[in-house]
Chain A
Amino acid sequence: MQIQDLILKLQRFWADQGCLIGQPYDLEKGAGTMNPLTFFGALGAKPWNVAYVEPSRRPADGRYGENPFRVYKHLQFQVILKPSPAAVQELYIKSLEALGIDLAVHDLRFEEDNWESPTLGAWGVGWQVVLDGMEISQFTYFQQVGGLDCRPVSAELTYGIERICMFLGGLDNIFDLPYGTVRTDEGEHIVTYGDMRQREEFELSAYSFEHADLDLHRTLFEAFEKEGKRLLELGHFRSAYEQALKMSHTFNVLDARGAVSTTERPGIIKRVRDLACGCAKAYAEHETANAAKEVL
């Protein structure tokens, strides 16, 4: 299956289940959870279903485009269902069927894997979903986000798009994945994941392991934090949250270079979390105020 087919099928399936189809948020981030559609969507009492693709950057996973399984940036397909439906596992299984994964001939298991994001003050419990021995998804019941209890609880489903595609195609190299087909007046050709991304992988890996200016990143981290705090004081949780995302990515760049010592680490993570939790709290207060207005 081509990557774009997989994405289109998942979007169609979840739209049919009553999900909004969201878009990636245009800032660097390590996981789809960080998109405000999830971070803020999982908070508060209002029912909320959303699904979207999120390019996720993990500087330490960069391999210069030379490792067939690991990349600096991969695609996550993220679904949030709030409150988590009673039949959520069956829904998930149906989504696999929509991708053409016929469970009559595969082995599916849900194995314990609890999720935690110290930078977001978030955690949940759940599983990694294992198909024929391979982890294809992460399945989480959010218990806390931004340091606040999730009531009701959201179910988060995260599909590893490249992995599933490789697995379905039996391919041994991520860069050989067919992304999609281009048709022009002069004919058609398949564009591979490698065509699209290999050079990008090389440069971004080189950047995070060699060329990133560490002093600049340390300065940036401080500056984003200062900016975030200032915005939060204005009660502007959405713009403040963007600063938290920037802090998080800056930290990841520094971390990939080994520029963060083990003793320093918890302190830095806490600074990001403090801002993220501040944003969550401000959002909750804002929502409560809005709800009160509606009652009036």
Chain B
Amino acid sequence: METRTFLLELHCEEIPARFLQPLADEFKTALTSKLEGIEVQSQYSPRKLAWFSSMSGMQADQTETQVGPPQRMCVGEDGQPTIQGLKFAEKWGVDFSAVRFEQPAGKKEICAVVTVTKKGRPTKELLAEALPGLIAGLHVPKAMRWGSSDFEFVRPIRNVLCLFGDEVVDFTVDGVKSRSTTWGHRLYHRQHPEPILVKQPEDYDAALKAAGIVVSFSDRRAEMGKQLHALASEVNGRVVADDHLLDTLAEIVEVPKIVRGDFPTDFLDLPKEVLVTSLREHQKAFCIEDANGKLLPHFFTAANRTDDPKGFVKSGNEWVLKARLYDARFFFAEDRKHKLETRLDALKHLTFQRELGSYFDKTQRVMQLAERLAGLLGLDAGHAKEASRLAKCDLRTLMVGEFPELQGVMGGEYLMREGAPAPVWEAVKEHYQPAGADDALPASELGALLSIADKLDTVAGCFAVGLIPSGSKDPLALRRAGQGVIRILWERGWKSDLADLAKSALTVIGVKATKPETETLGALAAFFSDRVSYQLEQAGYAGAVRRSALAVGGSDLVGLKARCEALSAFADDPRFASLAQSAKRIANILKDEMPSDAFDAAALQDPSEKTLAALLQKLEATKDHKALLAELAELAQPLAAFFDAVMVKADDPKLRAARLSLLHRLRQAFLRVADFSQWQ
């Protein structure tokens, strides 16, 4: 059967960028489930969702098995068909000779059975029937109605183009009849009022290109990327990369075009972060920097047309940007009229969390915690206290009011200009980092400390009032904060104990806690253990290494890291697999026993256990993880030999006690580095 190309294009009023791809994908799935075995491609632009597929012109014939009455009712004692038997054959349009007798699944006896062939239908007919339902069934997160209809979609559907080969697939969606024409770019139709005709799906891309639209998102994105780089080299600069912004721009235009704009150089006095944020958030524009990372007074943004005949596109964007930067400069100047610390009092009116109080309260807590941490880590406690005192003040500045994502950054900038000590302003600037898994860690020691203190207070505080993340619910992003604490401690190699940190944070929270302390500490321990486990995974340790190392404690990250490093050298050592089995056995044997630490070596009889006792002395004397593991590897074989040779629970109580103690001491020696029963 010949194949033909199917094309459906929904031409809508501008569809929000964020819905385009999900809708394209969803319809793909829906169509594939309706017509099995087909492949569907999609394209989209702000006003278009289009799908292509190659399909057979006819659906394949389908055979179905129809089960009739039992054989005894269809065939008489004389072997001739009964009336009932004949009627069954007649019902399915076959001769009685085509009726078979079989026992179908689920039936208790042999029945009359026929195989009927359902003629495959023309695909076009099937499509016409199915498409309205498939389109109406698309799930739209923020659906709307329009006009007088109850139909719901993401935005009003204004034209439906649907072809199968060179024929129109006839159907109607919310009163819009499918046809073989569509609409190009608005500019194109100012000169060509007629709709554009698409004779066959293969012509679609070219027809739309001629009418001013590049329907493929990836083509638009690639072309815009190219233009960005070409324009940047024109001004001897490079684009401050932002993949997300490029996606957004490619999603909001129908034709790829980057325009360059310039702004007055005096705005370059603003902090770089302010310029980058203002340009991105307000004007969807890229910044350009020179080889030293210094911004140049240019910006690049997208236009939904390929030319700028009178320069209005450029001048318009420049005008708006100037207004925005004027605003930013106004905020920057206003904010600096008063020292940052004058906002401290105003933090009393800014709620952090209902039970945990205001940002002022939080500041007081973080100050205590930071001071304590500084003592612990040997950092300047005065600086730690000062940085945490001022850390949240920028929440009350105009600039952060306008650009919340500049929190921290502005505080740091303002403090720097006030002449605050570098460690203090750097710490304030960096203390929200890392804001996510891909974000950088604070570069300065004090920034890292402040970040830990702030996040620890948030996590412990929320846990103390019962706000604990569960499943997919983590509205306060506590997991992200917790992960940040772990990442910083891990990368810095700071010697600290997570359980102690959690306890310190809870002490500072004090009476604000609504849950019993032991309960909260337990929940925090489990929470941090998960975060640590994730960190180990991210660091690339093998599963055996992670499980066995973490099982003997994850509270001291420095120790854990050292153990993981040491263990990794043996990750593929077969002797460790054997050791793991013995370790499991030991754990089982000791489960209900209370062996004493001391044992009578003289009571041991078998050479295998005497060997073990000798090795144990060596093990216990070894301090270094690596050396210990090397000895443990050597222990694997004697240990296996021991289990082969002796019955641990001997009848002689003295012997039995000695063997149990020997195993117990061996186990204690293992556990200094890992719980090998978790190795596999």
A binds B: yes
What class of interface size applies to chain A in its complex with B? 35 or more
**Chain A residues within an 8 Å CB radius of B349:** 258, 261
With A104-B187, A107-B305 in contact, do A143 and B144 touch (Cβ < 8 Å)? yes
Closest chain B residue, CB of each to CB of A263: B351
**Chain B residues within an 8 Å CB radius of A143:** 144-145
**Chain B residues within an 8 Å CB radius of A131:** 316
B13 within 8 A of A: yes
In the assembly, what is the distance between CA of A151 and CA of B310, in Å?
43
Please tell me if the beta carbons of A105 and B310 are within 8 angstroms of each other in the complex: yes
Q: State which of A86, A112, A127, A132 has its C-beta within 8 Å of the C-beta of B313.
A: A132
Which chain A residues numbered 82 to 127 have a C-beta less than 8 Å away from chain B?
A: 83-86, 89, 93, 103-112, 114, 124-125, 127
In the assembly, what is the distance between CA of A296 and CA of B35, in Å?
54
**Chain A residues within an 8 Å CB radius of B303:** 107
A172 within 8 A of B: yes
Known: A107-B316, A167-B319. 10 other contacts (CB 8 A): A67-B330, A83-B147, A106-B313, A107-B304, A108-B186, A109-B14, A109-B252, A131-B316, A134-B319, A262-B351
In the assembly, what is the distance between CA of A262 and CA of B395, in Å?
14
In the assembly, what is the distance between CA of A137 and CA of B323, in Å?
17
B354 within 8 A of A: yes
In the assembly, what is the distance between CA of A131 and CA of B142, in Å?
25
- Number of residue pairs A-B, CB distance < 8 angstroms: 114
**Chain B residues within an 8 Å CB radius of A134:** 316-317, 319-320
**Chain A residues within an 8 Å CB radius of B308:** 107
B475 within 8 A of A: no
Contact string against B for A residues 134-147, beta-carbon threshold 8 Å, 1 for contact and 0 otherwise: 10000001010000
Please tell me if the beta carbons of A133 and B301 are within 8 angstroms of each other in the complex: yes
Q: State which of A69, A124, A132, A262 has its C-beta within 8 Å of the C-beta of B323.
A: A69
**Chain A residues within an 8 Å CB radius of B310:** 105
Q: State which of B142, B145, B313 has its C-beta within 8 Å of the C-beta of A153.
A: B145
In the assembly, what is the distance between CA of A163 and CA of B155, in Å?
27
B322 within 8 A of A: yes
**Chain A residues within an 8 Å CB radius of B316:** 106-107, 131-134, 167
**Chain A residues within an 8 Å CB radius of B354:** 263
A36 within 8 A of B: no
With A104-B190, A125-B142 in contact, do A111 and B158 touch (Cβ < 8 Å)? no
With A69-B326, A103-B187, A133-B321 in contact, do A111 and B14 touch (Cβ < 8 Å)? yes
**Chain A residues within an 8 Å CB radius of B351:** 261-263
Contact string against B for A residues 152-173, beta-carbon threshold 8 Å, 1 for contact and 0 otherwise: 1101000000000001001010
21 contacts between A and B (CB under 8 A): A67-B327, A69-B323, A69-B326, A86-B156, A105-B310, A106-B312, A109-B252, A109-B253, A109-B304, A124-B144, A132-B312, A132-B316, A132-B320, A133-B321, A141-B146, A143-B145, A153-B145, A167-B316, A167-B319, A261-B349, A261-B351
**Chain A residues within an 8 Å CB radius of B317:** 132-134
Contact string against A for B residues 127-156, beta-carbon threshold 8 Å, 1 for contact and 0 otherwise: 000000000000000101111101000011
B277 within 8 A of A: no
A68 within 8 A of B: yes
> Which residues of B pack against A, CB within 8 Å?
13-14, 16-18, 46, 142, 144-148, 150, 155-156, 158, 186-187, 190, 252-253, 283, 301, 303-305, 308-310, 312-313, 315-317, 319-323, 326-327, 330, 349-351, 354
Q: State which of B17, B187, B320 has its C-beta within 8 Å of the C-beta of A112.
A: B17
**Chain B residues within an 8 Å CB radius of A114:** 142
Closest chain A residue, CB of each to CB of B17: A112
The 8 closest A-B pairs by CB, nearest first: A132-B316, A112-B16, A133-B317, A110-B14, A152-B148, A134-B320, A105-B310, A107-B303
Please tell me if the beta carbons of A84 and B147 are within 8 angstroms of each other in the complex: yes
Please tell me if the beta carbons of A84 and B146 are within 8 angstroms of each other in the complex: yes
In the assembly, what is the distance between CA of A71 and CA of B412, in Å?
30
Minimal beta-carbon separation of A228 from chain B (angstroms) = 29
Q: State which of A125, A151, A170 has its C-beta within 8 Å of the C-beta of B319.
A: A170
**Chain B residues within an 8 Å CB radius of A111:** 14, 252
Q: State which of B144, B252, B315, B350 has its C-beta within 8 Å of the C-beta of A141.
A: B144
Closest chain B residue, CB of each to CB of A140: B144
**Chain A residues within an 8 Å CB radius of B252:** 109, 111
Closest chain A residue, CB of each to CB of B150: A151
Closest chain B residue, CB of each to CB of A68: B326
In the assembly, what is the distance between CA of A24 and CA of B323, in Å?
29
Minimal beta-carbon separation of B473 from chain A (angstroms) = 21
**Chain A residues within an 8 Å CB radius of B330:** 67
**Chain A residues within an 8 Å CB radius of B146:** 83-84, 141, 153, 155
Closest chain B residue, CB of each to CB of A90: B186
Please tell me if the beta carbons of A152 and B147 are within 8 angstroms of each other in the complex: yes
In the assembly, what is the distance between CA of A168 and CA of B104, in Å?
80
In the assembly, what is the distance between CA of A238 and CA of B190, in Å?
45
**Chain A residues within an 8 Å CB radius of B321:** 133
Contact string against B for A residues 182-209, beta-carbon threshold 8 Å, 1 for contact and 0 otherwise: 0000000000000000000000000000
With A105-B312, A132-B317 in contact, do A262 and B350 touch (Cβ < 8 Å)? yes
In the assembly, what is the distance between CA of A153 and CA of B153, in Å?
13
